[in-house]
Chains A and B, each alone.
Chain A
Amino acid sequence: MDLTPNDIQRQALDAVDRILQRNGDTSHNKKLVEQVQYDEGLHAELAGAGFFDLALTEGAGPLDAALVVERIAESAAVLAASGTALVFPMVTGETAAGPVALSNGQGSPFRMGQFASTVLILDGDVAKRLDVRPGDVEPVNNDRTGWPLARLSAAALQRAPALGPGKGDELRNWWRTAIALEAAGAMKGALRQTVGYVKDRVQFGRPIGSFQAIQHRLAHLTVSAEGAYWLGLEAAYRGAPAEAAAAAAAYVTSNAPLLLRETQQMHGAIGFTREYPLHLWTMRLPALQRELGGLTRHARDVAKGLAAGLEAGSARVAAQL
C-alpha cells in the first residue's frame, strides 16, 4: 500500500499540468463552453504526448490514466477525457483514435456526443460501439453551461455492433469509475475556486471565509471531495470491480449535490454569472449525477452485491458478526 505518486506518476502529472496551463486559463474554457466547442488543440496535444494511451502502456495502467483524467477534470478543460483515456481503452483493449463519449442508448442527452468520433453505448446490459457518422448525433440545447450535450439517433443505435459477452458489465464498471473521477475533479475544482473566493470576499469588515458558519461547511465539502478522489483512484487501480466502481459512483452522486449547492451559495449572485468561472465545475455535476441511473442505481447495486456476498459466505460472516 502506497498512496504517494511514484516518480513516473509525478512526472506525468507535472507534464499534464504544464500542458493544461499552457493551453489556457479558465477564460479559455469559458469561451469554449459559451461557443459549444471542443478543445481540439488540447486533445491533440495530450494524445500526441501519449496521455490517452497510458491505460494500455507497459509500465503504466488504468491508475495512471485515472490520475490524468482527474487532473484534467479539475482543470475544467473541455475534453472527453474519461471516455477517451480510460473507459474506451479498458473496455476495448484499443487506444482511442479520437474523442470517445458514453451513451445509455435510450436517446437521452449525453456528454460530448457531438464531438465524439466513437460512442460507447450501454444498451440495457449490452455494450455497443458506434463509430460516428454524420447525422448520428444531434446537439442538445443546454443553455451553454456544463457539458456540451447531444442525443443519439435511433438509426445509429441500431447500427452499432455489440462488443461481445461480458462487455456490458465491463463498460458499466469503467463508466462508473469515470463518473467518480470526473466528479472528483469537478468537486475539487469548484471547492478550490470557492475557498479562494471566501478568502477575498469581504463583508461585515472581514473575509467571509473567517466565519465559522462558512468554514465548517467548506471543511465537510473537503472531506467529500477528497473521498471521491481516492475512491475513484482505487477503483481504477483495482480494474473497476463491480462493487468498488458502484461504491465510488454512489459516493460522488450522494455528495455532489451538496457541494454544488454550497459552493454556489457561498458565492452569492456572482456565482450565477457566465463571466465568473464557478459554473465550469459546478454545472458539470448534474450530468454526472444522472448517468447510469444515478445514485439510486449505483447504491442499490452496491447493496445487492454486499447482500449476495454475505449470503455466499454466510457461515463465515455469521461468525464475524
Chain B
Amino acid sequence: MDFSWTEDDVAYRNDIKTFLRERLPENWNGYDKSNLTKYKADSIAFSKAMAERGWLTQNWPQEYGGQEASPWRAAILSEELWPIGEPRGPQYMNVNWIGPAIMVAGTEEQKLYHLSRISAGDVCWCQGFSEPDAGSDLPAMRTRAVRDGDDYIVNGTKIWTSHVGTADFCFLLVKTDINAPKRSGISILLTPMDTPGIEVRHIDGFVGEQAFHQLVFEDVRIPAAYRLGEENRGWDIVRRALAFERVGAAHYETGQRILRATIAEAKRNGSFDDPEVQTKIGEVFAALEAARLLTYKVVDLRAHGSPPTADSNLSRVAQTTALRMAGELAHLVFGEEGLVAGSGGDIRRVLSFGVAAGTTEMQLDQIASNFLALPTKV
C-alpha cells in the first residue's frame, strides 16, 4: 500500500498542465455549446493534439495503438481535464468505454474501422440507452430491431441522450428478442447518426446546454454487420461498459474547484467568519477527499487486473454526495448572487449528477446486492 505518486506520474501530470496552458486560452472554463460546429471542431482539434502526443488512448492495449499505460494515468488525466470543463468534449466516452467495448466484442472489421477513428481523436459518439419507459430499469427498453435480410429495421425512441449534436455514431441498445427474459434479448448496434430515418429532437432543459435530446427511429435500416457482439447478448457488454463509465470522470476535482471558488467568495463577502460556514467547508472538503480515495480504490482494482466490482458504485455515490454538498455550500455562500446564471453559486450545476450515468438509487441497489450481499428476493 502506497499513497504516493511515482516520479513518472508527477512528470506526466506536469506535462498535461503544460499542454493545457499552451493549448487552451487563459481561464478557459469549458466549451460554449451553443455553437455546435465550433464546439465539435475545437474538441476534435484538442483530441487530435492529445492523440499526437500518444495520450488519447494511452491506456489501450498496444495492438490497438495504445501503450497499456497504468489506469493511474487515466485517473491523473481525468483529474486535470474534468474540473476545467473536459476539453476532449464527448470523446472521453470513446476512450473510456466505447472503444474498450468494441475491443472486447467487435469484429475485426469493426475494430479496424472504429478503433482507428477513436484513437485518432476525430470522431464523436453518443449513447442511446434511456427510453421514455426505461430509465433506471434499462432492460425494460422497447426500441425494437427486427432482422430483415442483412439489415435490422429499428423502431422506437431513445431519450435524454447527450452529445447528439456532435455525434457521428450512436452506441445504440435495441431489443432483438422481445420474448426473451429482460436482459437476454438486447443487442448493440453501432449506428451512424446520418442513417436515414433517425429524427433528432432537442429537449430544452436547465442543467447544461445541449444536454438532452430525443432520438426517434422510424423504420431505420441498419446493417446487421454493425451489431456489436452476438445477437441478444448485448447486456453483458453494456454492464461492463457502465462499470468503466462510472469512474471515468474525476468529479471530486470539480467539487474541489467549486469549493475553492466558494472559499474565495466567503472571504470576499465576509461569510467566512461564520463558524457554521467554516464547519461546512471542512465537511465538504473531507467528503470530496473520501470520494477521491474511494475512486482511487476502483482505479487500483483495475491496475491490479480485477474485474469491475461494486467499489465503482461506492465511488459514484461518494462523488455524488460530495459534489452536491459542494454545490449546496456554494449556493449558501454566494447568497442572492448565486441566482444569477453562470454564478459560482448556481445550484443547477450539481443537481443532475445523481441522475446521469445511473441514478444514485441504482448505485445503492448495486452496493446492497454486490457489496453487502443483502437478499434481493423474497
Task: Please report A residues at the B interface, Cβ cutoff 8 Å.
Answer: 1-6, 9, 63, 67, 195, 198-199, 205-207, 209-210, 212, 214-216, 218-220, 222-224, 226-228, 230-231, 233-234, 237-238, 244, 246-248, 250-251, 254, 295-296, 298-304, 306-307, 310-311, 317-321
**Complex CA distance for A223 and B317, rounded to whole angstroms:** 7
Question: Which of B41-49, B195-203, B295-303, B346-354 lies at the interface with chain A?
Answer: B295-303
Q: How far is the CB of A198 from chain B (nearest CB, A)?
A: 7
Q: Which of A1, A206, A226, A234 has the most CB of B within 10 A?
A: A1
- Partner of B367 from the list A1, A219, A238, A320 (CB cut-off 8 Å) is A219
For the complex of A and B, the 4 pairs showing the least CB-CB separation, nearest first, are: A299-B282, A227-B290, A302-B282, A215-B368
CB-CB nearest in chain A for B377: A210
For the complex, give the distance between the alpha carbons of A42 and B167 in Å: 64
CA–CA, A316 and B92, complex, Å: 27
Q: SS class of chain A's interface: helix, strand, loop or mixed?
A: helix
**Given A1-B4, A206-B378, A319 and B279 contact (CB-CB distance below 8 Å):** no
The distance in angstroms between the C-alpha atoms of A215 and B286, with both chains bound, is 25
> Considering the chains assembled together, what is the distance between the CA atoms of A143 and B39 in angstroms?
66
Contacts of B260 in A (CB 8 A): 306, 310, 317, 320-321
Known interface pairs A1-B9, A220-B317; A300-B282 also in contact (CB < 8 Å): yes
B72, A3: Cβ atoms closer than 8 Å: no
Complex Cα spacing A210 to B378, Å: 7
| Known A-B contacts A1-B2, A2-B2; A227 and B293 likewise in contact (beta carbons under 8 Å) | yes
The answer, among B267, B275, B286, B367, for a CB contact under 8 Å with A250, is: B286
In this assembly, does B314 line the interface, its C-beta being within 8 Å of a C-beta of chain A?
A: yes
Q: Could you tell me the distance in whole angstroms from the C-beta of B315 to the nearest C-beta in chain A?
A: 9
Contact B26 A319 (CB under 8 A): yes
B321 within 8 A of partner (CB): yes
Cβ of B277: which chain A residues have Cβ within 8 Å of it?
303
Assembly CA distance A246 to B278 (angstroms): 13
Q: Judge whether A207 and B317 touch: CB under 8 Å.
A: no
How distant is B280 from chain A, measured CB to nearest CB, in Å? Answer: 8
- B1-47, CB < 8 A from A: 1-6, 9, 26-27
Could you tell me the distance between the alpha carbons of A310 and B338 in the complex, rounded to whole angstroms? 21
Q: CB distance A226 to B294 under 8 Å?
A: yes
Q: A1-B72, A247-B282 are in contact. List 16 more A-B contacts (CB 8 A).
A: A1-B3, A1-B296, A1-B299, A198-B374, A209-B375, A212-B365, A216-B365, A227-B290, A227-B294, A234-B293, A296-B279, A302-B286, A303-B272, A303-B279, A307-B267, A319-B27
> With A and B bound together, what is the CA distance between A242 and B168 in angstroms?
50
With contact pairs A6-B1, A296-B275 given, residues A215 and B374 touching in the complex (Cβ less than 8 Å): yes
Q: Which of A216, A219, A248, A295 has the most CB of B within 10 A?
A: A219
Interface check B340, CB cutoff 8 A: no
Contact B368 A219 (CB under 8 A): yes
A227 touches B278 (CB 8 A): no
B275 & A218 in contact (Cβ 8 Å cutoff): no
Contact of A195 among B2, B285, B304, B374 (CB under 8 A): B374
* Chain B residues positioned under 8 Å from A207 (CB to CB): 375
Closest to A307 in B: B263
A296 cross-chain contacts in B, Cβ below 8 A: 275, 279
Known: A63-B1, A222-B371, A299-B278. A231 touches B286 (CB 8 A): yes
Task: Looking at the assembled complex, report how far the CB atom of A41 sits from the nearest CB atom of chain B, in whole angstroms.
Answer: 29
- A321 in contact with B368 (CB, 8 Å): no
Closest to A204 in B: B378
Nearest A residue (CB) for B317 = A223
Which residues of chain A have C-beta atoms less than 8 A from B297's C-beta?
3, 226, 230
Q: Which of B263, B290, B293, B374 contacts A210 (CB 8 A)?
A: B374
Q: Is the pair A303, B263 in contact by a Cβ cutoff of 8 Å? A: yes
Which residues of chain B from 319 to 363 have any CB-CB distance to chain A below 8 Å in the complex? 321, 361, 363
Question: Is there a chain A Cβ closer than 8 Å to B257's Cβ?
Answer: yes
B261 on interface, CB distance cutoff 8 Å: yes
Within 8 Å of chain A (Cβ to Cβ): is B376? yes
Contacting pair B304 A321 (CB below 8 A): no
In the complex, the answer to whether A226 meets B1 with C-beta atoms within 8 Å is no
Smallest CB–CB gap between B310 and chain A, Å? 9
Identify the closest chain B residue to A2 (Cβ).
Answer: B2
Interface residue from B3, B263, B304, B361 paired with A237 (Cβ < 8 Å): B3
